[in-house]
Amino acid sequence: MLTRDREYIHHIQSYCEDVADAIAELGNDRDVFLNNKHYISAISMYIFQISELCGGLSEDFKDAHRSEIPWALIRGMRNRFAHAYNKMDRIDIWKAATIDIPNLKVFCERFLA
């Protein structure tokens, strides 16, 4: 494993924590999220950063952990944010923030332990 991969996973974990902190602060309520453009923007930026960092992981690392984490889907989310943000489904963003990101956070914590 490359030192760079470990550093990227550390940064990804940090953004996962930012998502969790935002949800704790702004409310773990889908309707609140869907009706608050600032909440949506904050979570979206964290997810964008996570997906950008995932693109920087080595192929060897992603191959070794492909059964645990859907790297291609994460990278695809980045492309959707970058190129079609105004068409993003806010419910998909909420699901990513409340289901996928916590799972990714657990992976990062286990990996870095």
| Structural domain boundaries enclosing 73 | 3-112
Q: What is the pLDDT of residue 92?
A: 92
Q: Name the pTM for this structure.
A: 0.91
The helix (run of H) or strand (run of E) holding residue 11 is helix 3-26
> Residue 57 carries which DSSP code?
S
Percent of the chain's residues with pLDDT above 70:
98
Number of Cβ within a 10 Å radius of residue 108: 22
- The average confidence (pLDDT) of the chain is 93
Q: Average pLDDT in the 49-70 region? A: 94
Is residue 1 scored above 60 in pLDDT? Answer: no
The Cα–Cα gap between 11 and 96 comes to 18
Q: pLDDT tens for residues 70-111?
A: 999 998 888 888 887 677 899 999 999 999 999 999 999 999
End-to-end alpha-carbon separation of the chain, Å? 15
Contacts of 60 (CB under 8 A, 6+ apart): 1, 2
